[in-house]
Amino acid sequence: MRVRYASAAILVVLMLAADACSSDDPAVTGPSTTGPGQTGSPSSEPPWGLNTIAMPDDAQAVQATLEAFPEELRDLAQADVSPTEVSYGDGSTFVRAIDLAQAQAEGFPPTAPAYLGLLASSGEVQVEEKETNPNAGFVYLVNTNTAQDSPDADPRTTFDAAWGASGGAWLFVASAASAKDREALANAFLDAASG
């Protein structure tokens, strides 16, 4: 397995996402809408309009959203799509879906606000924008990080973002080599989830 990030907190996010399993149990899925009716005051305006759509909140909706991503993202061809991930280029540009029920079963924060709050306060990422207040309907973290693909590889900067409905069952994590590719991933998610 390739090591994508130096920090243990981000490794946990990525490993959980790779192994995420779905749950169709209604007790596990939380509210699926966010947007104009959300409560709480964000620390900054939510990025890329992601708070204006209903977040996919079950395994089928997550898979349908990822499968609706474009074949090409800017100048990168789609590399792979699975029920919980879509990747581009060499695979280092991606969006992953994390099943928060699976994360909780493995001892990690059970909600999107708690998960993002832990990551934001870890000191391992450079936070650009965030909203982790559990009273907000939509939470997010936009950051940069240092990634290392293997112990012998040179470190590189990644441009990351994570978002989800505060009470939702899934968290979405994006990573790219540039801020423009990160934004393109978020816009592709917005289009795919809106379709």
| Spatial CA neighbour of 140 closest among 44, 22, 8 | 44
pLDDT in tens, 63-91: 999 999 999 999 999 999 999 999 999 99
pLDDT score for 61: 98
Are 95 and 66 in contact by the 8 Å Cβ rule? The answer is yes
The residue type at 92: S
Are 87 and 106 in contact by the 8 Å Cβ rule? The answer is no
Q: Is 125 exposed, middle or buried (0-12, 13-18, 19+ CB in 10 A)?
A: buried
Spans of all domains in the chain: 8-20+39-194
Query: In 3-state terms, the chain is what percent helix, strand and coil (to 5)?
Result: 30, 25, 45
pLDDT, mean of residues 177-185: 97
Beta strands in 49-191, from DSSP E residues, in sequence order: 72-73, 76-82, 85-88, 93-99, 126-131, 138-147, 156-165, 170-176
Q: DSSP assignment, residue 46?
A: P
pLDDT in tens, 119-155: 999 999 999 999 999 999 999 999 999 988 788 989 9
pLDDT in tens, 86-117: 999 999 999 999 999 999 999 889 999 999 99
